[in-house]
Amino acid sequence: MQRIVKNDHQLNPYKKQSRQLILEPSKQKRLHRGKLMLQEVERATGKVFIWSNGKMITVEAVTNKQNDRVYAKSSKDLSVNARSHLKRQKPASVMVWAALTSDGSKSPVIVIE
């Protein structure tokens, strides 16, 4: 079947990608707010705007069950640890925060454990 699909029909397999679902009303609201921000920045003389952002970063390793394989003659030959991937319910993480101003000033990157 794989040869027929690939050779005869020239089709290739592709994995579906995970993407954020954004509904049309949310897209319109984001566009409207973005335009308002740009207008405010253009009108402001002598004002300094501050943009900041923070990101939680998980320290736990990411595993792909599809690519992580263990080979054995029988599942009985494998220990429980060899067959399992252990995952914490609340893994260790850090918060990274930084800010930028409209006059070009930058804050140092702050890492909070």
Continuous H helices in the chain: 2-3, 24-43, 80-83
Q: What is the pLDDT of residue 17?
A: 65
Dihedral, 75, 76, 80, 85 alpha carbons, nearest 10: 0
In tens digits, the chain (113 residues) has pLDDT values of 878 877 888 777 776 666 778 889 999 999 999 999 888 878 877 778 888 888 888 877 777 777 777 777 777 777 777 777 777 777 788 899 999 887 888 888 888 87
